[in-house]
Amino acid sequence: MRIGLDIGSTTIKCVVLDDQNHFIYQSYERHFSQIIESCGQLLAKIRSRFPEQQEAYLAISGSAGIGIAENTAIPFVQEVYAARVCVNRLLPNTDVVIELGGEDAKILFLTNGLEVRMNGSCAGGTGAFIDQMASLLSVTPEELDTLAKQKEKTYTIASRCGVFAKTDIQPLLNQGARKPDIAASIYNAVVSQTIAGLAQGREITGNIVYLGGPLTFSSSLRQSFDEALHTTGVCPENSLYYVAIGAAFCADQPIDLKKASDAIAHYQAKGNFSYRAPLFSDQAEYDAFLVRHNRCRATRGDLLSYHGKTYIGIDAGSTTVKAVVIGEQNELLHEVYLPNSGNPVPLIRTFLTELYEQKPDIQIAAAAVTGYGEELIRSAFCADYGIVETVAHFTAAKSFLPDVQFVIDIGGQDIKCFKIHNGAIDNIFLNEACSSGCGSFLQTFANALHYSPEEFSKLGLLAKKPVDLGSRCTVFMNSSVKQAQKDGASIEDISAGLSLAVVKNALYKVIRASSPGELGKKIVVQGGTFLNDAVLRAFEQEIGTEVIRPDISGLMGAYGAALYAKQKAQPDQKSTIISQKELIEFTHDIRVVTCGLCNNHCRLTVNTFHDGRKFIGGNRCERPVTKAASSDERNLYAYKRQKLFSYAPVEGKRGTIGIPMGLNMYELLPFWHTFFTKLSFTVHRSPVSSRALYTNGQQTIPSDTVCYPAKLMHGHVQALIDEGVNTIFYPCMSYNFDEHLGDNHYNCPVVAYYPEVIGANMASLQGKTLIKDYVGIHRKKDFPKKMHAVLSQYFSDITLKEVQDAAAAAYAEYDAYLLDIRKKGEEMIAQARNENRQIIVLSGRPYHVDPEINHGIDKLITSFGATVISEDVLSVHAKKTKRNVLNQWTYHARLYAAADYVSAQPDMELVQLVSFGCGVDAITTDEVRDILERNGKIYTQIKIDEISNLGAVTIRLRSLFAAIGR
């Protein structure tokens, strides 16, 4: 008899084979971190089922099995090797295996030897990720699979982080998107994470086998993989057990089953965790803590006996809905705090209905809404005002501590922090890449351990040895918690440790504080997460300062919105909020459509209400709402795109040459298009970037951490190949043009040498010509001769004179292009000043003009009524200046120069676009911030990648406009 055990991160799989390798027993069960007990029970079942078998060939595999095997003298088989053995024996023609587990993801390439790709720093896209997303939609994983089959549309959702994906999903739910469409989008996100994150440049082709629980149980997930890979994979019988079967095949020595059971029962894991000091040494210290914080209380009033004007504040947040009613003395008359099940509209309707029933004669003077669902709720119920979250929270904080210096709000999925200077918000910190330190982070673990969040938080208050769990992502923190349990940590120790992890994440990942003193001494903490006394205590311990926590910490957004409504209301004003009679007739219908008014192709959620009013969500500009012409006359980015796309192919005798439209080619297209057109080539540029274009090339991306603009180049090159272009020009360029603003004029390393990456990783280039030679356009005199030598390798009939003439035309066209852009920018500036408009310098790289990269942020800014220009318009006014950094990059030198110029202009603000994965951008951030802040300007940075958190972007932009009084 052969026994194979696959002990994974969340489950134990077991197979028992007879001497003919036939199945005689199999088991698949979750171990809920009780691995030792589950293994012992499993072997006991096998012994009772086959009492005549005292010995068996036994082997253990799986990510959680190695410690048990090593300490019980049971043979261990590495899980990848076990899977390979099983596949080779049962499915010998397999080329690729894709296996998804609870927290592990693998791709095994079996052709021409074994090559393995596994997830390392992120567990996004695994079974635990899918479980979390199903929980967010309030369905089981099985129901999620069924929902996905009913899809009509799909959305772009991040899968790089289990919790952060919620930040993409929650606004969709708040806007009324259909759950089936979101379910299908979640599976697409898993596919994208697996292919882009694990394949790392090696194409997934041939016979593909799907293994692991998520792929076995979800036919919709398998279909998503098939569609992305343009294939039909196989999910074999017993796919759950392939690693266990492989372990059984590899078992080569008889093991006494009773001795093995006893050895496992007595196994003790070794502790690898450090511990922190207790949050409270005893109950007395905790009681003193409560007394101190209970002093900060909002004034209360009685709604039923109150007579006078009232003001309503609503905070439609990512995971909760909060609403308050205040009186004329700011007294709190009524409050609600409800979980947001995905659509806040019914909750607010219920709140208003009950309010009218309790107080039929209520005088509502004004109502304001804030939070993720602000626009939807304001539109649905005709509220008077909308207010950005940061301003709402600051308004509330000031009412408790007028000279507050720092406000930190930790909500369900968001962390919002802002410094206060001279009574105004000076700097904003948002969690744009990870939500692991938010309320849902703690809620996830509370639910997993079968506690309510309130019960779980109280457990850690008097823990003797809080576990130092660090500040890892939610999915991987699961593993840390399980390991801590195995090492003997109590639930109390884990609860306290998770509270510490929340604080560390906020301080060192979001705020990135180098010392506690950066936050100041007068700090207000708020948000539902700070109602957790353990989190509050951990925060005070970490920064070494006592802070203010209002007793309405979880209601501060709604309270600030109500205060704002009271400040804005006129003396004789009556609120426009929906009446009791209209609430009875209220209906809410949802429809999803795709906007075709521009190349963004936004997925719009159209909400229709009882009286025919509509609210459209998902749009990045005002056109779907107003039906008016685009505000491109105030958008230099739009003008640049129009100008670049006007370079059309001209029929040439030498055939077609393709140019991939990305990275530095976005600015150099006028140069190269003119150069090759003059040489009698038909110049064909790749199409406009899109998500589909990216997906088409993602299998060949070798690095998951490289910036999104670089990743897109794979899709652009593939698009040219698919369109039949046989010669592609994409040169390596160490240097850019010298604009005499910096110490040097390099291209960043990715821009400079990415053609080498393309050439090494795209198998579809076989049989094609990729011209990726090193070229130096910065040396105008040398360029023709050097370029002639390059081209002569590929085209024998091109003369030096032709190259010289083409080069002269190219340099002239490039200069004319830049001059035209700067002239148009100056015209826009003059027009904006004539119309008293705010001017936003949206700064970054030439490729940030690409709508797929900037996600329509330029249009979003113009929708606020501002004019958008780019940094290169202003750099012409600057001179070379001493910097605090080595100023060696052409585009950064422009950015510094633009920051200098903006600092002296009262009607200009600079917004910096930064791509995730761009290490070079880290150099610019502090320098640009210093230039702006020492001149009294607000530094606003927006990080963008494959999935842009447009909710966070909007918060940043609205906070900027609010801070400058626009």
**pLDDT tens for each residue of 789-843:** 999 999 989 999 999 999 999 999 999 999 999 999 999 999 999 999 999 999 9
Q: Are residues 703 and 806 in the same domain?
A: yes
Higher pLDDT pick, 499 / 506: 499
Higher pLDDT pick, 341 / 962: 962
Q: Are residues 412 and 385 in the same domain?
A: no
By percentage, how much of the chain surpasses pLDDT 70?
Answer: 88
For the chain, give percent helix, strand, coil, nearest 5.
45, 20, 40
Q: Are residues 901 and 952 in the same domain?
A: yes
Q: Are residues 457 and 353 in the same domain?
A: no
3-state secondary structure of 718: helix
**Domain presence at residue 566:** yes
Of 818, 845, 876, the position where a domain reaches its end is 818
> Phi/psi zone of residue 697: left (φ > 0), alpha (ψ -120 to 50 degrees), beta?
alpha
Q: Are residues 658 and 517 in the same domain?
A: no
Q: What is the strand order of the sheet 682-685 is part of?
A: 682-685, 656-659, 727-729, 769-771
Spatial CA neighbour of 902 closest among 929, 922, 921: 929
Instruction: Report the mean per-residue pLDDT for the chain.
Output: 85
Alpha helix ranges (H) inside 762-799: 783-792
Instruction: Give the angle subtended at the CA of 469 by the CAs of 468 and 474, to the nearest 5°.
Output: 160
Domain containing residue 501: CATH number: 3.30.420.40
Q: Are residues 352 and 451 in the same domain?
A: no
**Domain presence at residue 260:** no
Token pair recorded at residue 693: 């274009």
Average pLDDT for residues 749-765, to the nearest whole number?
Answer: 92
3-state secondary structure of 72: helix
Q: For residue 870, give every residue at least 6 positions away whose Cβ sits within 8 Å of its Cβ, in sequence order, or none.
A: 636, 637, 640, 821, 825, 841, 842, 843, 849
pTM: 0.74
pLDDT of residue 807: 96
Higher pLDDT pick, 464 / 209: 209
Farthest CA pair distance, the chain: 95
Could you give phi then psi for residue 111, rounded to 5 degrees? -75, 135
**Secondary structure E strands in 150-220:** 208-211
pLDDT of residue 944: 76
Spatial CA neighbour of 930 closest among 960, 895, 880, 905: 895
**Count of CB atoms within 10 A of residue 259's CB?**
14
Q: Are residues 565 and 650 in the same domain?
A: no
Count how many domains the chain has.
Answer: 4
- pLDDT band, very low/low/confident/very high, at 87 (cuts 50, 70, 90): very high
pLDDT over 70 (residue 166): no
Q: Are residues 784 and 861 in the same domain?
A: no
Q: Are residues 430 and 391 in the same domain?
A: no
Which domain does 364 fall in, by range? 309-401+560-586
- Crossing angle of the two packed helices 164-174 and 950-963, in degrees rounded to 10: 80
Token pair recorded at residue 515: 């010392």
Token pair recorded at residue 365: 């003077």
Query: 658-679: per-residue pLDDT in tens?
Result: 999 999 898 999 999 999 999 9
Token pair recorded at residue 305: 């006996």
Query: 602-648: per-residue pLDDT in tens?
Result: 667 788 888 888 887 765 555 555 555 456 889 999 999 999 999 99
Spatial CA neighbour of 447 closest among 555, 319, 344, 336: 319
The partner residues of 762 in beta bridges, in order of sequence, read: none
Q: Are residues 462 and 578 in the same domain?
A: no
Higher pLDDT pick, 87 / 515: 87
Cα distance between residue 876 and residue 739, in whole Å: 9
Q: Are residues 316 and 354 in the same domain?
A: yes
Q: Are residues 384 and 423 in the same domain?
A: no
By percentage, how much of the chain surpasses pLDDT 90?
Answer: 42
